[in-house]
A and B are shown apart, each in its own frame.
Chain A
Amino acid sequence: MSKTRRLSSAFLGLPYIFWAAAFIVIPLIMVVWYGLTDENGAFTFANVAAIADPAHSKALLMALLLSFLATVVCFLLAYPLCMFLVELQKGSDSFLTMLLIVPMWMNFLLRTYAWQSILEKTGIINTALTALGFAPLRMINTNGAIILGMVYNFLPFMVLPIYNALEKIDKNVINAARDLGADGRITFLRVIFPLSLPGVISGVTMVFIPALTTFVVSSLLGGGKILLIGNVIEQEFMVAYDWNLGSGLSLVLLIFIIINVVISAVTEKGEEAKA
């Protein structure tokens, strides 16, 4: 009985296993293969070591800096919002959650293009400012514009896991803390926040990684003036046709992704162990 059940459930997973093999595992193997060989197919570490090239390391540091700042801003916006959402009665919070999710149904590129026309010199904000007699602001094609684009596009990925974590916290735990004399601040610091940490970490991962690797946001809102590591890799493939170097630099990024995934896996395990 249990054997047939296991067999049939393996059967259910089959379509996805094929999917994952064809579109995730094989491409990843190809990236590793290209990244560790030169154009003649001989093994080399040069494509990965090329991250030390000033142009590349600068682009990587820039990407780390901007995606770090975007993640911090996302967290600062998302956490209070989630606490607010959890406090609300059921019913009205689903409306707010909808407001957060609906923009995600629109195409990512279109949303980013829309920011162009908001931030431009002749854009909505500056037209309004000038009409009111203020000096126009220089917003588009700056680091700030890129961070804004990252925050806007990736904020829902921070909100949803934090919201889930906060919602799962047993109200009795909070009441118990209060009964035992903890004030609001202590309850938050010692009870609520630690319990929501897995959500925070998965939110941070889900914002930081796409922000770190983006090339669309930086090229649309940065005017091509700010080179992130994602742009370098994209251009190695699309402009220079250097798949080896492009893959090698991707492997460097992969290291950051793995570090992130390991951190969130470890914390989750820790939480489970505690529970």
Chain B
Amino acid sequence: MKKKTVFSICLPLLAAGLTAYLAAGCGKSSREREDAPDNDSNRLYVYNWGEYIDPEVIGLFEEETGYKVVYDVFETNEIMYPKVAADPSQYDVLCPSDYMIAKMAGEGLLAELDMDAMPEAKTNIGEQFWRMSEDFDPGNLYSVPYTWGTVGILYDSERVDEEITSWDVLWDEKYNDEILMQDSVRDLFAVALKKLGYSLNTTDLNELEEAKNLLIEQKPLVQAYVVDEVRDKMIAGESKIGVIYSGEAEYTREENESLSYCIPKEGTNVWVDAWVVTKDSRHKKAAYDWINFMCRPDIALMNFEYIYYSTPNIGAMELMDEETLSNEVLFPDVGKYDLEAYRYLGTDAERLYYNLWKEIKSA
């Protein structure tokens, strides 16, 4: 549910580069790897978001375990899903988002996890994050949280002379042509539904119609519906206000100090990306070892420092300094806001959301 890609076109390059790097092998560690037999039984097929891991971590994992990692990346849940659904045995470990995990689990694509095989997950993932995950994975059967965050408003505090606290600002005419909205069905509706005080998991036709009308009313003020580009456009000053994921927000603030992030008072979406194992995985042991490795505090910290998304890893948080932990964008007080994770709503409701979305986009 995030994606740190600047341009989607860079992704294949990245994947190709990574594969070439792993295949060519450079440095001492990979020479050792070459000694290990490379056959299918020794491999682990990982499918993750682009730029969602410290590349060094993959090498460390191979070095410590002797597995050979075949690493692919995707840009959205929607791109990942059909690939996995078409052949669920081609990947062992995936990192989808909440609602997609619920959908895949419901369709029997995911394996029930053996938590005892992953002691680091049990010890290091915070209690509140296991609870958060129950929204989409009741009983925590299928997934181990990897990153999490909120959706909120990023604004240029130098050119917006008010403190933004509410979704209402996205309907304020003085920001005509200065607003960036997310170009994905659920994220777009979440904003309007929360503004109206409804659940962002609603399937009530009247509530959704109301949200749709609100979004059509907003459309003339919107500069563009985009996904990745929100962060680049905000950094460049192309627009004053944008709806964005907290992890992206933190990155933009490093590039442009006048940007501020707010979690609107009406509440918002909290998302969780979590590791899952495919039901038809041919390398379950390696998959557990991978998830276990990712949950190790030192590794979780490396990944956190590389991708800068909030981590649910308490062990890693204990290794962080006071300043990082007091960062309210990365580690908000979850009790203070009405935070809702997306639930998978079923095919009919998905279709309904999508049809209403088309009406907005073609309005």
B323-352 vs A, CB cutoff 8 Å, 1 = contact: the mask equals 000000000000000000000000000110
Summed over the interface, the residue pairs from A and B with CB atoms below 8 Å come to a total of: 63
| Contact between chains at B362 and A59 (CB < 8 Å) | yes
Give the shortest distance, in Å, between A114 (CB) and chain B (any CB): 12
Measured CB to CB, the closest approach of chain B to A129, in angstroms, equals: 15
Bound: A114/B40 CA distance, A: 43
Q: Does A238 have its Cβ within 8 Å of any Cβ on chain B? A: yes
List chain A residues, Cβ under 8 A from B362.
Answer: 54-56, 58-59, 62, 227, 232
**Nearest-CB distance from A127 to chain B (Å)?**
11
Please, which residue of chain A has its CB at the minimum distance from the CB of B181? A224
How far, in whole Å, are A140 and B79 apart by their CA atoms in the complex? 27
Given A141-B224, A223-B224, also A240-B351 (CB < 8 A): yes
- The distance in angstroms between the C-alpha atoms of A122 and B355, with both chains bound, is 34
Question: Judging by beta carbons under 8 Å apart, are A55 and B358 in contact?
Answer: yes
| Closest B residue by C-beta to A123 | B238
Q: How distant is the Cα of A56 from the Cα of B361 in the complex, in angstroms?
A: 11
CA–CA, A224 and B82, complex, Å: 23
Q: Which of A35-92 contact B (CB under 8 A)?
A: 54-56, 58-59, 62
In Å, the complex CA distance between A159 and B107 comes to 52
Other-chain contact of A239, B223, B238, B354, B359 (Cβ < 8 Å): B354
Complex alpha-carbon distance, A121 and B156, angstroms: 15
CA distance A122 to B236 in the complex (A): 8
For B50-90 the 0/1 string (1 means CB < 8 A from A) is: 00000000000000000000000000001101100000000
Question: In the bound complex, do residue A224 and residue B226 qualify as a contact, i.e. CB atoms below 8 Å apart?
Answer: yes
CA distance A90 to B185 in the complex (A): 56
Report Cα–Cα, A31/B259, bound state, in Å: 47
Q: Which residues of B contact A (CB under 8 A)?
A: 7, 9, 78-79, 81-82, 177, 183-185, 219, 222-226, 236-239, 350-351, 354-355, 358-359, 361-362
Known: A138-B177, A240-B351. A225 touches B9 (CB 8 A): no
Q: CA separation between A14 and B238, bound complex, in Å? A: 53
Judge whether A188 is part of the interface by a CB distance below 8 angstroms: no
A240 (CB) vs chain B CBs: closest residue: B354
Q: A238-B79, A239-B185, A241-B82 are in contact. Are A227 and B223 (CB under 8 A)?
A: no
Q: How far is the CA of A238 from the CA of B9 in the complex (A)?
A: 16
Known: A141-B223, A227-B362. 5 other contacts (CB 8 A): A54-B359, A224-B361, A225-B222, A239-B354, A241-B82
Query: Across chains A and B, which 6 residue pairs bring their CB atoms closest together, nearest first?
Result: A223-B224, A224-B225, A227-B362, A55-B362, A55-B358, A227-B361
**Which residue on chain A has the smallest CB distance to residue B351?**
A240
B351 to A224, Cβ gap below 8 A? no
> Which of the residues A59, A62, A120 comes within 8 Å of B238, measured between beta carbons?
A120
Residues of A within 8 A of B236 (CB): 120, 122
Find chain A residues with CB under 8 A from B238 CB. Answer: 120-122
